[in-house]
């Protein structure tokens, strides 16, 4: 028996996860470690039913909303299939190793995609399977297999506003290579956690998370938060007077929507459009700070100086709804 355990056999390895929240533009994206995003069908011909150990009806039920087109039963899958030569014990150890490593690796890769492209890209289950060729043990024909289908609990119950679209898979891969989690700079890591979580909750909860993420970037312990946040974020992201004023006003409105919900339970003005806007603000700010890092105190100090030079801010005391957090006359 021991000799049989030490004898090497050829194993077929299959790794697969069906992606939700994206269109077919992601097909061909290199996910690293030999994993690629491939187009596969929910029709059993592509064996997704066998990989995920469900019948054809179960496959449709589980992945109907992952379809990448209304006219097709195709889905985008993170996929890799290859051969591995090992004895049974080594194959088991290898299975345990890659299952653990893949879970972390793919989690980080998917988070990077969500940071770089707008859309709730995620997978609900990761299948890792090793199955040996048939071999003889004495007069008995045998094979050995190790298989696991691991659920990703946080990926369930997501409200999809719009599906992610990739302009260029090679460019996206290059940008993904620049991002590593957790982010070393603490306040940027805190911001990203809040941003990423916004994909996995209801719209009112997302509003809270995204405004808080902007507060992490642009505020310290100070009063007049609504006004300060709106000016600093608008100035940091945009260059022209027109854009700065437009998005300053939009940020003030969204901050008020968040406050109305937190303090009064009023979520009527929280919208998908507002969530997409806030997520874009966090994304633009965070990616810029990842590209050119700076300490938070330096960032805020520089923004204060720049805001003080601007003379086109409207008189908010006469034109806007009072900010319940404002106690100073001239925020910056």
Query: Does residue 261 sit within a domain?
Result: yes
Tokens of 22: 């994206």
Residues 219 and 119 in one domain: no
pLDDT above 90 coverage of the chain, percent: 76
Residues 143 and 18 in one domain: yes
Mean pLDDT for 122-134 is 92
Residues 72 and 141 in one domain: yes
* Cα 200 from chain centroid (whole Å): 9
Residues 197 and 110 in one domain: no
Radius of gyration of the chain, Cα coordinates, nearest whole angstrom: 25
Query: Does residue 2 sit within a domain?
Result: no
Q: What is the pLDDT of residues 305-327, one digit of tens each?
A: 999 999 888 854 444 444 444 33
Query: Does residue 299 sit within a domain?
Result: yes
Which of 149-153, 158-162, 227-231 is modeled with the greatest confidence?
Answer: 227-231
Residues 97 and 20 in one domain: yes
| pLDDT score of 137 | 66
Q: Is the pLDDT of residue 136 over 80?
A: no
Distances, alpha carbon 312 to alpha carbons 56, 199, 298, 305, in Å: 62, 35, 24, 15
Query: Does residue 174 sit within a domain?
Result: no
Query: Does residue 330 sit within a domain?
Result: no
Q: How many domains does the chain have?
A: 2
Residues 148 and 274 in one domain: no
Scanning 168-312, the segments in alpha helix (DSSP H) are 169-177, 186-197, 203-218, 225-237, 241-264, 272-291, 296-309
Residues 106 and 198 in one domain: no
Nearest to 242 by CA among 312, 330, 316: 312
For tokens 């707008």, what's the residue? 118
Q: Point out the domain boundary residue: 155, 173, 190.
A: 155
List the domain range (segments joined by +) for residue 216. Answer: 182-319
Q: Is the pLDDT of residue 48 over 70?
A: yes
Residues 188 and 150 in one domain: no
Average pLDDT score, the chain = 89
| pLDDT score of 131 | 94
Residues 201 and 82 in one domain: no
Across 217-231, b (16+ Cβ under 10 Å) vs e yields bbbeeeebbbbbbbb
Residues 227 and 115 in one domain: no
| pLDDT score of 331 | 38
Residues 15 and 81 in one domain: yes
Query: Does residue 214 sit within a domain?
Result: yes
Cα–Cα–Cα angle for 182, 77, 106, rounded to 5 degrees: 15
Residues 305 and 250 in one domain: yes
Q: Is the pLDDT of residue 329 over 80?
A: no
What span, in angstroms and rounded, lies between the C-alpha atoms of 49 and 54?
5
Q: What is the dihedral of CA 282, 287, 293, 298, to 10 degrees?
A: -30
Query: Does residue 332 sit within a domain?
Result: no
Cα–Cα–Cα angle for 271, 288, 326, rounded to 5 degrees: 55
Mean pLDDT for 126-149 is 84
What span, in angstroms and rounded, lies between the C-alpha atoms of 307 and 300?
10
Mean pLDDT for 90-114 is 93
Query: Does residue 329 sit within a domain?
Result: no
| pLDDT score of 321 | 45
């Amino acid at each position: 028996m021991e000799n049989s355990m030490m004898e090497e056999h050829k194993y077929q390895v299959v790794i697969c996860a069906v992606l939700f929240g994206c269109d077919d533009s992601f097909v061909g994206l290199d996910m690293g470690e030999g994993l690629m995003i491939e187009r596969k069908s929910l029709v059993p011909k592509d064996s997704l039913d066998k990989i995920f150990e469900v019948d054809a009806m179960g496959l449709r039920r589980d992945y109907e909303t992952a379809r990448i087109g209304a006219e097709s039963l195709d889905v985008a899958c993170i996929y890799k299939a290859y051969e591995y030569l090992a004895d049974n014990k080594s194959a088991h150890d290898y299975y345990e190793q890659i299952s653990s490593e893949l879970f972390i690796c793919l989690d980080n890769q998917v988070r990077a995609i969500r940071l770089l492209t707008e859309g709730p890209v995620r997978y609900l289950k990761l299948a890792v399977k090793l199955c040996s060729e048939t071999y003889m043990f004495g007069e008995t024909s045998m094979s050995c297999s190790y298989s696991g289908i691991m659920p990703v609990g946080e990926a369930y119950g997501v409200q999809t506003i719009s599906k992610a679209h990739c302009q260029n898979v090679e460019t996206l891969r290059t940008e993904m290579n620049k991002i590593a989690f957790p982010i070393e700079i603490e306040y940027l890591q805190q911001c990203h956690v809040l941003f990423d979580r916004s994909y996995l909750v209801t719209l009112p909860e997302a509003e809270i998370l995204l405004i808080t993420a902007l507060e992490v970037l642009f505020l310290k312990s100070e009063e007049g938060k609504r006004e300060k946040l709106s000016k600093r974020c608008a100035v940091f992201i945009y260059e022209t007077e027109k854009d700065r004023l437009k998005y300053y006003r939009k940020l003030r409105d969204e901050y008020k929507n968040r406050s109305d919900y937190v303090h009064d339970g009023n979520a009527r003005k929280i919208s998908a459009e507002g969530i997409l806007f806030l997520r874009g603000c966090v994304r633009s700010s965070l990616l810029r700070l990842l590209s050119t890092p700076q300490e938070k105190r330096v960032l805020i100090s520089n923004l204060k100086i720049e805001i003080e030079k601007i003379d086109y801010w409207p008189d908010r005391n006469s034109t806007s709804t009072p900010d319940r957090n404002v106690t100073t006359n001239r925020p910056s």
